[in-house]
Chains A and B, each alone.
Chain A
């Protein structure tokens, strides 16, 4: 039927592809092992085992590559193998130069393997340089080149052939094995081991040992299989469905008496749980899979900048979900690069400081409280906070005065600010000013946290905490506009429920805010933001307080349901344009619910305008909070160009009144407000600013104290800001506390009590603390 389909795809290479694919995967693994063990060998040059391992890796690539007809691959691995066999017979000792040449060889092989994966051919990668270096290594020591022709491997099959094992364990010379193999081909009925022993080429015990090795290898091969991740994901989906079906069955058991059915349901329950755990495990990978690449990076870098760095790893077998492993790969690499490039000093500097000449880089991973902790520490110079500070000030990220008051810890956190680097020179490795901020963002994206500690001259410690898995997260389920939504628990701070009657929800120029323990919390109405119908008008208001970046906001929803563990599933690419959803999940009843992307929602609702800048300002404010200075300010304009601010805590309401409502009493303007008489103060007049607009509507800032209110008439409400104000006294004005730069503009800070006293309204002031 296939040939009747005009667009049916047929690929004659399919059968071949499998072999090549396997070869590619194996080669990549082999090369990774080669890198790893060669680096270990550099430290422990007497290790026979490591030397054998690197030899074996290259030998296998050469053998299989030869069978598949990849000439370049064979030529390069052959040259590398020659160097390694010289090392094995002791005529060559591993030096840093040789190691570099060998590592370069591995890179060249990797490039070729990549080419083969892409195009099926070796391509025209230029490998002359690599070969030349390897030959130089060979010739530099002894002129006699090791004759090591490509062995005519007949079967590149696992398990390895006995001859190969003997050769790699150095129990027998390659040409002896070849001679024996030739004898076999010519009709010698004896097994290869027997031939070798008879010829005196190998000791019987060496052959026996190799045979055992060979059968061990066979066992390993038969115990593991490769599985496509897509298949695992599919199985995982089905298990998720099974769990739902199980739950429904269990609900039925409640009104069933049949004991047979009950016990079957019970078994179904247990098996499903076990199955779910088992499938989850298949997705777990040891963090070592990512770490293994790091020593190589460290080596390349330290050689590049003339430093000496030793890498230690603890807990490399700590397991993490595959998706997380992938997500932390780049951040980890970046951190390591940073540590080597900026953290660890040159050997002379270290020696002068009384440290060992080689720097230590320690990677630790462990499970704790359902999370994975990764710690990366070095014993380098630590972070120069004063440099960070200077840089941050120069870049205008913080104000100088501010910086003076920041604690060491806050200063350290500046390292995560975008555009900062303390590296004196921009190297090709790091110091370009992108980096730590990206690391932080990436880790926060997967629900993790980063913490930085550093002691000058002692070193730096970076702690990362990440969830075990991304696939299943705890979430709060809410209902709004008749739809259910899941909100990831990590963004959730608290839930507030208040009666609509007494709800302390106020409006600042159309922007609703809620007073949460004295602080204003901007509110975002879920129904309005998501354009849902909101026919419901209940007695109470449900506010979900959420953390978006460094900022909090309240999401008003119709109903708060419950918290649940949900399985996160991605949305299809057709929905990429919708920023406020992070994915979807299937609920207990089989229905799909959307997962809210709190950051996306916050940005959409403009709670966050520019996330990063905001984060920085916030951090700066947080800094001043510690010194008791944090305050929110209400900014307004009086007259044509007067900018003033008063602490938001003094403002009880913002109102808009028609000018017609103004009445007069004792020569002063007053108005009826909440069944009382409220005196008005026209601030522009009171402060001597010209150009107050004669408008129909009065903007009134209501100030209340001791049960009395005063209305301050301003010309325009500008903003509410959390920006920490640095008060400066420029000129003595009775009703002004001082001036400050808020939002890059000079702003007068009004002294309300003093103003009221000047206006003979101090009676209102009475109760104010």
Chain B
């Protein structure tokens, strides 16, 4: 039997990522952000989501990618969490795609360990690879970076 799952996809630099749809609360365009002095640098700031204050995590910084080019505004992928939603800042939003479990493969061993933590696996699509984001890891912030 073909097991399928739906992924909400987005782009980060040249990478194509997906998050399970049921974990995503909503996708919204760029929101004005309040930055937080002394906060760990992966935290981009706070946004106002209809009266709820949501912490935004810059996935580019989280994954140690190059900084977003100046002038390019990130989009928010708001993921649901037990302790309230968290927004992941991404470059661009893709479609919701349906993938087959057979096309799933674990991340290759050659991937650097610290990057590997963020990628649960790879779906081999016809024309490209879709990386399944480890949301747990993506929303976690390592200890106090505060100066």
Question: Is A237 a contact of B51 with CB atoms below 8 Å?
Answer: yes
Give 1 or 0 for each of A590-627: 1 = CB within 8 Å of chain B CB: 11111000000000000000000000000000000000
List residues of chain B with CB within 8 A of the CB of A240.
51
Q: Which of A7, A591, A594 contacts B36 (CB 8 A)?
A: A594
Give 1 or 0 for each of B90-112: 1 = CB within 8 Å of chain A CB: 00000000000100000000000
Question: Is B34 a contact of A591 with CB atoms below 8 Å?
Answer: yes
List residues of chain A with CB within 8 A of the CB of B50.
237-238, 241
Taking the complex as formed, is A75 at the interface, i.e. its CB lies under 8 A from any CB of chain B? no
Q: Which of B38, B51, B86, B101 contacts A241 (CB 8 A)?
A: B51
Q: Which of A569, A578, A580 contacts B53 (CB 8 A)?
A: A569
Q: Which of A244, A483, A574 contacts B34 (CB 8 A)?
A: A483
List residues of chain B with CB within 8 A of the CB of A592.
33-34, 45-48, 53
Question: In the bound complex, how far is the Cα of B52 from the Cα of A4, in angstroms?
Answer: 32
Q: Which of A7, A484, A532, A590 contacts B20 (CB 8 A)?
A: A7
Determine how close the nearest CB of chain A comes to the CB of B63; give it in whole angstroms.
Answer: 16
Give 1 or 0 for each of B26-45: 1 = CB within 8 Å of chain A CB: 00000011111111100101
List residues of chain B with CB within 8 A of the CB of A530.
37-38
List residues of chain B with CB within 8 A of the CB of A584.
34, 46, 53
Taking the complex as formed, is A577 at the interface, i.e. its CB lies under 8 A from any CB of chain B? yes
Given contacts A4-B4, A579-B146, contact A586 B55 (CB under 8 A): no
Determine how close the nearest CB of chain A comes to the CB of B59; give it in whole angstroms.
Answer: 13
Determine how close the nearest CB of chain B comes to the CB of A621; give it in whole angstroms.
Answer: 32
Question: In the bound complex, how far is the Cα of B50 from the Cα of A449, in angstroms?
Answer: 35
Taking the complex as formed, is A573 at the interface, i.e. its CB lies under 8 A from any CB of chain B? yes
17 contacts between A and B (CB under 8 A): A5-B22, A238-B50, A483-B34, A483-B35, A484-B34, A531-B147, A572-B54, A574-B40, A574-B139, A575-B43, A577-B144, A578-B36, A579-B146, A586-B48, A591-B34, A591-B48, A594-B36
Question: Is B146 a contact of A577 with CB atoms below 8 Å?
Answer: yes
Determine how close the nearest CB of chain A comes to the CB of B82; give it in whole angstroms.
Answer: 10
Given contacts A237-B51, A591-B32, contact A6 B3 (CB under 8 A): yes
Closest to B83 in A: A573
Question: Is B46 a contact of A6 with CB atoms below 8 Å?
Answer: no
Taking the complex as formed, is A470 at the interface, i.e. its CB lies under 8 A from any CB of chain B? no
Taking the complex as formed, is A316 at the interface, i.e. its CB lies under 8 A from any CB of chain B? no
Question: Is B46 a contact of A578 with CB atoms below 8 Å?
Answer: no
Question: Is B3 a contact of A593 with CB atoms below 8 Å?
Answer: no
Taking the complex as formed, is B8 at the interface, i.e. its CB lies under 8 A from any CB of chain A? no
Interface of A is mostly: mixed
Closest to B84 in A: A572
Question: Is B53 a contact of A586 with CB atoms below 8 Å?
Answer: yes
Question: Is B5 a contact of A5 with CB atoms below 8 Å?
Answer: yes
Q: Which of B22, B43, B52, B83 contacts A237 (CB 8 A)?
A: B52
Taking the complex as formed, is B141 at the interface, i.e. its CB lies under 8 A from any CB of chain A? yes
Closest to A585 in B: B53
Chain B contacts to A: CB under 8 angstroms: 3-5, 20, 22, 32-40, 43, 45-48, 50-55, 57, 83-84, 86, 101, 139-141, 143-147
List residues of chain B with CB within 8 A of the CB of A591.
32, 34, 48
Question: Is B141 a contact of A574 with CB atoms below 8 Å?
Answer: yes
Taking the complex as formed, is A571 at the interface, i.e. its CB lies under 8 A from any CB of chain B? yes
Chain A contacts to B: CB under 8 angstroms: 4-8, 237-238, 240-241, 244, 481, 483-484, 530-532, 569, 571-575, 577-581, 584-586, 590-594
Q: Which of A241, A532, A575 contacts B39 (CB 8 A)?
A: A575
Determine how close the nearest CB of chain A comes to the CB of B2; give it in whole angstroms.
Answer: 9
List residues of chain B with CB within 8 A of the CB of A575.
36, 39, 43, 55, 141
Question: In the bound complex, how far is the Cα of B50 from the Cα of A238, in angstroms?
Answer: 7
Determine how close the nearest CB of chain B comes to the CB of A565; give it in whole angstroms.
Answer: 15
Question: Is A574 a contact of B57 with CB atoms below 8 Å?
Answer: yes
Question: In the bound complex, how far is the Cα of B34 from the Cα of A530, in angstroms?
Answer: 14
Interface of B is mostly: loop
List residues of chain A with CB within 8 A of the CB of B139.
574
Question: Is B145 a contact of A577 with CB atoms below 8 Å?
Answer: yes
List residues of chain A with CB within 8 A of the CB of B52.
237, 569
Q: Select the residue from A238, A481, A584 with max chain B CB neighbours within 10 A.
A: A584
List residues of chain A with CB within 8 A of the CB of B143.
577
Contacts A591-B32, A594-B46 known; 13 new A-B pairs at CB < 8 A: A6-B5, A238-B51, A240-B51, A241-B50, A483-B34, A571-B46, A574-B139, A578-B38, A578-B39, A591-B48, A592-B34, A593-B34, A594-B36
List residues of chain B with CB within 8 A of the CB of A6.
3, 5, 101
Determine how close the nearest CB of chain A comes to the CB of B55; give it in whole angstroms.
Answer: 4
Question: Is B57 a contact of A531 with CB atoms below 8 Å?
Answer: no
Closest to A8 in B: B22
Closest to B47 in A: A592
Given contacts A530-B37, A531-B147, A577-B143, contact A586 B51 (CB under 8 A): yes
Question: In the bound complex, how far is the Cα of B101 from the Cα of A530, in angstroms?
Answer: 48
Question: In the bound complex, how far is the Cα of B33 from the Cα of A479, in angstroms?
Answer: 16
Question: In the bound complex, how far is the Cα of B113 from the Cα of A732, in angstroms?
Answer: 74
List residues of chain A with CB within 8 A of the CB of B32.
590-591
List residues of chain B with CB within 8 A of the CB of A571.
46, 53, 55
Determine how close the nearest CB of chain B comes to the CB of A200; give it in whole angstroms.
Answer: 61
Closest to A480 in B: B37
Question: In the bound complex, how far is the Cα of B38 from the Cα of A573, in angstroms?
Answer: 15
Closest to B140 in A: A574
List residues of chain B with CB within 8 A of the CB of A7.
20
List residues of chain A with CB within 8 A of the CB of B55.
571-572, 574-575
Question: Is A572 a contact of B40 with CB atoms below 8 Å?
Answer: no
Closest to A584 in B: B53
Question: In the bound complex, how far is the Cα of B3 from the Cα of A398, in angstroms?
Answer: 73
List residues of chain A with CB within 8 A of the CB of B33.
592
Determine how close the nearest CB of chain B comes to the CB of A147; give it in whole angstroms.
Answer: 50
List residues of chain A with CB within 8 A of the CB of B147.
531
Question: In the bound complex, how far is the Cα of B5 from the Cα of A458, in angstroms?
Answer: 74
Q: Select the residue from B32, B37, B50 with max chain A CB neighbours within 10 A.
A: B37
Question: In the bound complex, how far is the Cα of B22 from the Cα of A530, in angstroms?
Answer: 38
Closest to A581 in B: B36
List residues of chain B with CB within 8 A of the CB of A484.
34
Determine how close the nearest CB of chain B comes to the CB of A245; give it in whole angstroms.
Answer: 10
Question: In the bound complex, how far is the Cα of B20 from the Cα of A586, in angstroms?
Answer: 30
List residues of chain A with CB within 8 A of the CB of B5.
4-6
Q: Select the residue from A4, A238, A581 with max chain B CB neighbours within 10 A.
A: A4
List residues of chain A with CB within 8 A of the CB of B46.
571, 584, 592, 594
Question: In the bound complex, how far is the Cα of B38 from the Cα of A481, in angstroms?
Answer: 13
Question: Is B37 a contact of A483 with CB atoms below 8 Å?
Answer: yes
Question: In the bound complex, how far is the Cα of B47 from the Cα of A754, in angstroms?
Answer: 65
Determine how close the nearest CB of chain A comes to the CB of B132; give it in whole angstroms.
Answer: 12
Question: In the bound complex, how far is the Cα of B51 from the Cα of A571, in angstroms?
Answer: 13
List the 4 shortest-distance A-B pairs measured between CB atoms, nearest first: A577-B144, A241-B51, A530-B37, A237-B51
List residues of chain B with CB within 8 A of the CB of A593.
34
Question: Is A580 a contact of B38 with CB atoms below 8 Å?
Answer: yes
Q: Which of A237, A241, A578 contacts B146 (CB 8 A)?
A: A578
List residues of chain B with CB within 8 A of the CB of A8.
22
List residues of chain B with CB within 8 A of the CB of A5.
5, 20, 22
